[in-house]
Amino acid sequence: MKLEDKISVVIGGGSGIGAAIVSRFAAEGSTVYATSRKAIEAAHPERVVPIVADAGQASSVRDVYERVRKESGRIDVLVLNAGISEYAELGDISEDIYDRIFGLNVRSLLFAAQDALNLMQEGGSIVLVGSIADAIGPKGYGVYSASKSAVRSFARTWANELAPKGIRVNVVSPGPTDTAMMAATTDEVRAALTAMIPLGRLGRPEEVASAALFLASSESSFTTGTELCVDGGATQV
């Protein structure tokens, strides 16, 4: 029960990695407010508060926080997971593609973190979900990769800024993981990504959730500003 009696908010908790984080946090004793654009069927309904919200709209996220304030009064752990990816090589990148990806992955993440600050407690933890794409340069995912580089940069700055308040900020960066987002890529991309993983397989969402749990819990109490790569060794060896 590593998060017993903690109040967690997971923005983007409806499927894939986000859903796995919600499930693991609830299993570890946290009350979890989990947002998605669609209704969520939680594995631990007694501890999960599903909320239909649009992570791309700041007003929608603020409404989530207002509910948390009224019902629980604080946020101990904030996970910002909402994000999108689209395939487009340099010559095919449109303004719309750029705006969609940076709008959700960067702009919305920034203001979701900012708007949560008045509910965050000393000893709290913010976990940003990045990607090893920012380091490996996958063909056709330049905009997505750049957006995740911005997430990594935010973590360093916010770790500095929030340390005096006792709030830690870290990034969990999955490698290729068996989710719907990965399933939407081309066979060529999936094969190329799997081939670069020393462990020889895609990751599982629950493996990323375990890393997020470490960063969220007191077991990482002396860890801030870091990036924890869950990638089967792809960027490490």
Selected catalytic residue, list 33, 65, 141, 144: 144
- CA–CA dist 212, 128 (Å, integer): 9
Distances (CA, A) of 129 to 71, 118, 148, 237: 26, 21, 8, 22
**Do the beta carbons of residue 130 and residue 109 sit within 8 Å?**
no
Through-space distance between the first and last CA atoms of the chain, rounded to whole angstroms: 33
Contacts with 51 (C-beta within 8 Å, 6 or more apart), sequence order: 33, 34, 35, 36, 64, 67
Q: Residue 225: which region, alpha, beta or left (left: phi > 0; alpha: psi -120 to 50)?
A: left
> 55, 83, 50, 20: which is closest to 213 by C-alpha?
20
- CA–CA dist 79, 113 (Å, integer): 9
Please say if 98 is a catalytic residue. Answer: no
* Segments in 35-82 forming alpha helices (H): 58-71
Distances (CA, A) of 142 to 2, 88, 139, 191: 37, 8, 7, 18
Edge-to-edge order in the sheet of strand 48-52: 48-52, 31-36, 7-11, 75-80, 120-129, 168-174, 227-230
Residues taking part in catalysis: 144
